[in-house]
Structure 1
């Protein structure tokens, strides 16, 4: 599957039809070590609304970048958090000690909102096994087979 089939600009339940944002699917059975690490870090979340978990920004965070008509979202974690939680293969560290776990992008004119200098959160829906459509991903959440994680964006 390409990145654009795992990233959407959409409204997500339970947040309501007016809150459009970036949604990523995160497969717990993925063969990608970065995606596996991100999935495992969801266990560090704190439950808010039923089935919705909030992660502290130093546990797992998102970064937005734009190149022309493409919006990219990169999931990053602190090396110290990864060392504490799980064995992750060596990956490139940036100057702040952040490790890039995965990157997805798609063509869109959507600009994430900012409020008080903070970028709009990125939503992750976790699932086990491949999911091919947004409807299939949301149906898994509605059925209680998936959870939503809210990630602060840098």
Structure 2
């Protein structure tokens, strides 16, 4: 399954019955951005038991519509990448460092970009500006990921599209 098949418009039973942009992220892939998104998903601060909150500048999404295409870009702040280079395990350090030279977008470092043909607009949808990232190991379909969601096997991260938004993201799992 290629990158084009890793973005969907779907309801997420673990959250609500609203539709969201859902991005599958196979964190053990060779792609540096995928690996960093997976690592960032695990950096949350625990709120309720099993629910971890990311700071808004740790990881956020930028959505843009052009005609019938919805483009979603996942970003992190340069400072977060700098901290990761100093503190992450050796196996991830090279991937993190390779992204540091990427030209910034809206003040953030681009990690992952996905596009889908759809009339869905997250900015006007119930629930607002949320993008859901299902971080997992291996290749899976959206049905597999959502039907068999298990916090031991995957991380569900809810991102907001405004990095200045103090709500941050949340990551049950």
Which category describes the TM-score, using the shorter chain as reference length?
Answer: 0.7 to 0.9
SS of residue matched to 2:33: helix
Is 2:110 the partner of 1:100? yes
Matched with 2:4 is 4
1:8-47 matches, cutoff 5 A? 8-17=8-17, 19-47=18-46
Unaligned 5+ segments in structure 1 are none
Unaligned 5+ segments in structure 2 are 86-92, 163-173
Shift of 1:50: 6.3
- Number of equivalent positions: 149
Query: Does the CA-based 8 Å contact 1:45-1:149 persist in structure 2?
Result: no
Note closer, same or farther for the CA distance 1:5–1:94 as it changes in structure 2 (3 Å cut): closer
Aligned counterpart in structure 2 of residue 129 of structure 1, from 133, 138, 160? 138
Note closer, same or farther for the CA distance 1:152–1:95 as it changes in structure 2 (3 Å cut): closer
TM-score, with length taken from structure 1? 0.85
Note closer, same or farther for the CA distance 1:94–1:73 as it changes in structure 2 (3 Å cut): closer
Query: Does the CA-based 8 Å contact 2:44-2:52 persist in structure 1?
Result: yes
SS of residue matched to 2:64: strand
Query: Does the CA-based 8 Å contact 2:41-2:155 persist in structure 1?
Result: no
RMSD: 2.3
The structure in which a higher percent of residues are strand is 1
Aligned counterpart in structure 1 of residue 129 of structure 2, from 120, 132, 139? 120
Residue deviations 1:31-73 (CA, integer Å, cap 9, x gap): 1001111111112223456655432210000000111111011
Matched with 2:169 is none
Instruction: Report the Cα distance in structure 2 between the residues aligned to 1:44 and 1:143, rounded to whole angstroms.
Output: 15
Instruction: Report the Cα distance in structure 2 between the residues aligned to 1:20 and 1:136, rounded to whole angstroms.
Output: 17
